[in-house]
Amino acid sequence: MVKLGSSFWRVGHGREIELGSTSVIMAIVNATPDSFSDGGRYDSVDKAVAHALKVVEDGAGIIDIGGESTRPDAANVDAREEQARVLPVIEALRGKTEALISIDTYRADTARLAVEAGAHIVNDIFGLQKEPDIADIAAKTGAGLCVMHTGRDRDKLDDVVADQFLFLERSLEIAGRAGVARDRIVLDPGFGFAKDTDENLELMARCDELQRLGFPILAGTSRKRFVGAVTGREAADRDAGTAATSVLLRLKGAAIFRVHDVAINRDALAVTDAMLKARDAFERKGTL
């Protein structure tokens, strides 16, 4: 098990959040008609805002708002439609909650408008490599930046962790050239993004190796296909399996957990955090 330190993730609008000592939950709020497990449930501003406020009550510290489904066979959405879906939700939430707001987008213009509307974090599933101007926006606005690994639209290395380093180091170079401060960046291994079941399981088993990059890790396994492959359950019934992955990845050092069902993951991670704190107390006692 990885030793869990404590640090602060500095994000937009002068905010920050402590990472490491206690698990942080990022709740998924899809303002879309076609996301793979909850498409259409929150496709109006009122529904999305109500759901966002509910997940904060359940224990989410971050709300991640997306306006385009990222499942492999999803229909393309243009920037204008994406913005029409997410910007009113962000604007409405800004005055209703102290939770951090994240925009799930790979488009630089959407990122810019979302931060102006009140978002604190930009979550880019293409790791700055589709529209690198996102890094410039993060640098200029001070927004937090989640840089995700993907295997889509590129040739991967055979070794899953070596491919993580290859891709993420390139993303970090883009962020560095733009002037994004290190304490504004977290990394996401991109579970499920052009990775088969075996690759996802190996990545879980070796996720602690990513600590060498020196950044907090966000884990996004919620209801993913590989969880279904292991459990035999359909997407909407994968929350218990997701909570198991959250526990295992917490033990491997992950700090943030992007999930659909906040309550079950909150409870699973609360037990995990309590055990880790008890372990650390025991080890300190042993060295006195």
Say which amino acid occupies 33.
Answer: P
Active site residue 177: no
| Cβ–Cβ < 8 Å for 42, 30 | yes
Q: Which listed residue (112, 252, 258, 266) is catalytic? A: 258
**DSSP secondary structure letter of residue 204:** H
CB burial of 114-138 (b: ≥16 within 10 Å; e: otherwise) equals bbebbbbbbbbbbbbbebbebbbbb
**Which letter does DSSP use for residue 211 in this model?**
G
How far apart are the C-alpha atoms of 75 and 27, rounded to whole Å?
23
Residue 224 annotated in active site: yes
C-alpha dihedral (232, 234, 236, 238), degrees to nearest 10: 20
| Of the candidates 71, 69, 144, the residue with the CA atom closest to the CA atom of residue 111 | 144
Catalytic residue, from 195, 223, 224, 252: name it. Answer: 224
Give the catalytic positions in this structure: 224, 258
